[in-house]
Structure 1
Amino acid sequence: MNIKAIKHFLALAESLHFGRASEECHISISALSRNIRQLEDEVGVALFARDNRTVTLTQEGKKFLVYAREASSQWRLIRHELLDDSDQLHGEISIYCSVTASYSFLFELLNRFRQVHPGIEIKLHTGDPDEAISRILDGKEDLTIAARPNNMPRSLAFKGISFSPLVFIAPNEQHLPSVPMTPPDSAEAWANVPMILSEAGVSRHRIDDWFYQQNISPKIYAQVAGNEAIVSMVSLGFGIGVVPKIVLDNSPLQDRVKIWPVLPELAPYDIGLFTLQKNLKNPMVSAFWELMAERRT
């Protein structure tokens, strides 16, 4: 078993799609399929269940995934130690964040990091911010930028970067009569407002608590993944949304929505860098961690 086989397995295990995995590994689909079958022959069990439409991990595959992630991490560490005949770091780290975070925080940081550590390759993955913490805990990523949850697992390390208010947004123009143009003045009125909310995550927990404290039973029009999608739906007049202000500030649709001055205000996002405590022993992760300046209080 070689490290390339491990990397090919990880790519397919995380995407569950031969096309996307082959693109990530820069090989053909047939070559990836052949390598996976060779790996399965070597371990003696089927790691994936395949049919004409889907690819899923078998129970044995899920167990092997834990090993593969640890083996890949240990490979990067030992490779760095073996090649480290100078002060220059070499290797690879993975980072996950939302699209908003990628250009709000990462652009400048990655530019500086590349100048200081040109030997470290960055694998950047973007997606739903609600998945950021779980991807770190599951070992899929080395680092992530996300909002700090109310209850943070002890295994995580956190370095604050910035705060962002969590705000109610409404369309600038009324498209549907059910969507009011001004904040309701009673719990009964709020109960009739169509709300567009995140499916899960910090913002959903905050707004659920807010409605509970105000004794409001919300009318949920849509639950979506990603704050950018909430801004889009609100701009089209489908309902009232709740998003971090930093998302609105960077949205091309910000002129089509307005912020409602709702009281009491929602608790702001505490945005920062996350990694597992044990990952800080990795010199490449530690280098990135140290380069990220702690926010000024």
Structure 2
Amino acid sequence: MEYKDLQVFLSVVEAQHLGRAGQHLHMSSSTLSRRLSRMEKDVGAQLLIRDSGPLTLTPAGELFRQHAEQTLESFQALRSAVNSEVSDMEGSLTLYCSVTASYSFLADLLARFRERYPRVDLRIHTGDAAESIPRADSGDADVVIAARPEQLPSDLTFRAMASSPLLFIAPRSIGTVPQLARPDTNWSEVPMVLSESGLARSRVNQWFSARGIRPHIYAQVTGHEAIVSMVALGVGVGVVPELVLQNSPLAGRVRVLAVRPELEPFAIGLCAQTQRLNEPLLQALWHTAVR
């Protein structure tokens, strides 16, 4: 069992709710549930009672909570002893990510990196998420925060940090897109707002193709944030990562559709050229991100 598993367990215990804990950890409720089930299997006992209402600890869960707190406390003491000295490493790195990734992952990463490597200059560029992997591949960015593509270029290495489901979203008002009010939705008639390119577009194209559906594309936009905005205006149905929706100021003006089968979730993490991972600055950032 990993230290991150113990941290996840304690976060769920504190929140007493999978949804709230998921928002803090940038994980979906289904991902958390699977992770907790794996822990219970490793321990050999039920740890949490997941009936209606707040999550509560079983007697075994209380023992496991104490074990998790003691283990993490000991590990933190070890890390503090090992990393007691601030590194004098100098230089600069260019990091590229989407706007959503910048305030979902970057703030915590920067805080920890700057504490350990105060003399290293991190140059942050933000833009369309679809540009992340190409920038790492071309060398325009030393490292990127991105969703792992279905086919990762052979010269790149990816290290996952979190997972984000891919969701169909519609305007909050049910009557705004009348095609959705029918018992059996005819998806060929539903106006769709999709990204111009990138992993999300590829997966939604595969979803429609597998069902022999030619989608009615109302608009194609750059960036997932723009999709949420257009859907909130009532122009159609969009597909965005859950992480984008959670951080959108317009989240309350859209609803998530229960579409089956679900689209494959995004794996989000760091990506850089494999041949450069032995460079000290990249190693420092890489190790900071996954601790």
TM-score, normalised with respect to structure 1: 0.67
What pairs up with 1:128-207 in 2 under 5 angstroms?
Answer: 128-173=128-173, 176=176, 179-182=178-181, 185-186=184-185, 189-207=186-204
- Cα gap change, 1:147 to 1:277, in 2 (>3 Å): same
Paired residues, what number? 206
Distance 2:249 2:182 in 1: 24
Name stretches of at least 5 consecutive residues in structure 1 with no aligned partner: 1-85
User: Secondary structure in 2 aligned to 1:159?
Assistant: strand
What pairs up with 1:58-73 in 2 under 5 angstroms?
Answer: none
Residue 208 (1) aligns with residue 205 (2): yes
Contact 2:193/2:217 (8 A) holds in 1 = yes
Cα deviation, 1:50-97, whole Å, max 9, x if unaligned, reads xxxxxxxxxxxxxxxxxxxxxxxxxxxxxxxxxxxx951101001000
Distance 2:214 2:155 in 1: 36
Distance 2:140 2:182 in 1: 41
What pairs up with 1:98-113 in 2 under 5 angstroms?
Answer: 98-113=98-113
Distance 2:278 2:163 in 1: 28
- Aligned partner of 2:240 in structure 1 is 243
Shift of 1:281: 2.2
Distance 2:182 2:167 in 1: 12
Structure number, greater radius of gyration: 1
Shift of 1:184: 6.5
Residue 229 (1) aligns with residue 226 (2): yes
Shift of 1:194: 0.4
TM-score, normalised with respect to structure 2: 0.68
- Aligned partner of 1:269 in structure 2 is 266
Distance 2:259 2:113 in 1: 40
Shift of 1:166: 0.3
Distance 2:160 2:195 in 1: 23
User: Secondary structure in 2 aligned to 1:190?
Assistant: coil
Contact 1:129/1:226 (8 A) holds in 2 = yes
Distance 1:183 1:231 in 2: 23
Distance 1:184 1:88 in 2: 64
Distance 2:189 2:157 in 1: 41
Q: Which aligned segments of 4 or more residues in structure 1 are displaced greater than 3 angstroms?
A: 178-184
User: Secondary structure in 1 aligned to 2:110?
Assistant: helix
Distance 2:157 2:213 in 1: 36
Name stretches of at least 5 consecutive residues in structure 2 with no aligned partner: 1-85
- Cα gap change, 1:179 to 1:232, in 2 (>3 Å): farther
Distance 1:126 1:118 in 2: 22
Contact 1:184/1:190 (8 A) holds in 2 = no
Contact 2:109/2:289 (8 A) holds in 1 = yes
> What percentage of aligned pairs have identical amino acids?
48
Amino acid in the other structure paired with 2:222:
A
Amino acid in the other structure paired with 2:133:
I
RMSD: 1.7
Cα deviation, 1:186-239, whole Å, max 9, x if unaligned, reads 5xx111100000111110010000001111110000111100000000000001
Contact 1:183/1:262 (8 A) holds in 2 = no
Residue 289 (1) aligns with residue 286 (2): yes
